[in-house]
Structure 1
């Protein structure tokens, strides 16, 4: 016969497993949101704003989490855009310090390699907007701020381009989240075609600029 203590222990194990099972399918942003809800007791609006302010995750993680939490679309969009933009002025100002540049050197080196593709000064603002505005891996407002600093763009011009890019990325992420898996697959295909086309165009341009082979 099963003793009461063992029965209670078995119930606890089953309950814990059942509670943990759904979390296995949660992505990073959702896990952060669950932690903020259960441990930090933070309101949902502050949670998604904080998630959007984080590097790497940014708004592309905040918007799906906000909609997953059941918040209104307009509220999620506004909070995530605001949250994503909060650290950007601080980053632009902090990068004027050589000490900060030394600390962030590995990240700045990566950003510097991407900044080489931004072209002439007249096109840098548009290039920065597109870089931030298309939510691809390795892009975003944090990296965009580093690139703007490397290029020596004025703070006001940098903020305007990054803000426009964040709004664009927010609109794309909102549409993708609402579209579900089918929309995400279609968007991934479109972005893949865009990337392949861009790489091909760059390779063709580089080939056209290559010096002719020496005459025999």
Structure 2
């Protein structure tokens, strides 16, 4: 049951896996592999849902998507849209992460299969970073 809670906590947009992993390890006392796996999977499901809902959101807010494309075009052109999606998905910092990676993948037109691979790989990296940081903080305390 705690695994399922961890999965759903990772689906909360602001919390994502950077909050789900420490909660799973400290509150639910899950083993590392379960905390990591269920957090990454929950966050990945959220990312896929957001990516797939992109068309509906683009219809509702076309000017927001166009503004975002124009504002960040130079960075995307310099680094490549796939690199941007991976890096945004792999950074477990506030206001950047899986959700931002999914939005960037949609906004900049990354094909679904490539986006899923980039976002999933980025989440795995982010999860490892969060596990290491969590254990570093626990050991300091």
Q: Which TM-score tier does this pair reach, normalised by the shorter chain?
A: 0.7 to 0.9
2:80 alignment counterpart: 123
RMSD: 2.7
1:178-197 map, 5 Å: 178-180=135-137
1:44 alignment counterpart: 2
* Residue of 53, 58, 62 corresponding to 1:94: 53
Aligned-residue offset at 1:109: 7.8
Structure 1 contact 112–150 (Cα < 8 Å) conserved: yes
- Gap runs ≥5 in structure 1: 1-42, 184-216
TM-score, with normalisation over the residues of structure 1? 0.57
* Residue of 16, 19, 27 corresponding to 1:58: 16
Q: Which has the larger radius of gyration?
A: 1
1:119-198 map, 5 Å: 119-120=76-77, 123-180=80-137
- Gap runs ≥5 in structure 2: none
Q: In 1, Cα distance between the equivalents of 2:30 and 2:85?
A: 30
Structure 2 contact 88–100 (Cα < 8 Å) conserved: no
Structure 1 contact 129–165 (Cα < 8 Å) conserved: yes
Structure 1 contact 111–147 (Cα < 8 Å) conserved: no
Over residues 35-88 of structure 1, what are the superposed CA-to-partner deviations in whole Å (9 max), with x where a residue is unaligned?
A: xxxxxxxx2111111010110110001000000121100111111111111122
Cα gap change, 1:131 to 1:104, in 2 (>3 Å): same
Structure 1 contact 49–80 (Cα < 8 Å) conserved: yes
Give structure 1 regions of 4+ aligned residues with deviation exceeding 4 angstroms. Answer: 102-115
Aligned-residue offset at 1:124: 1.8
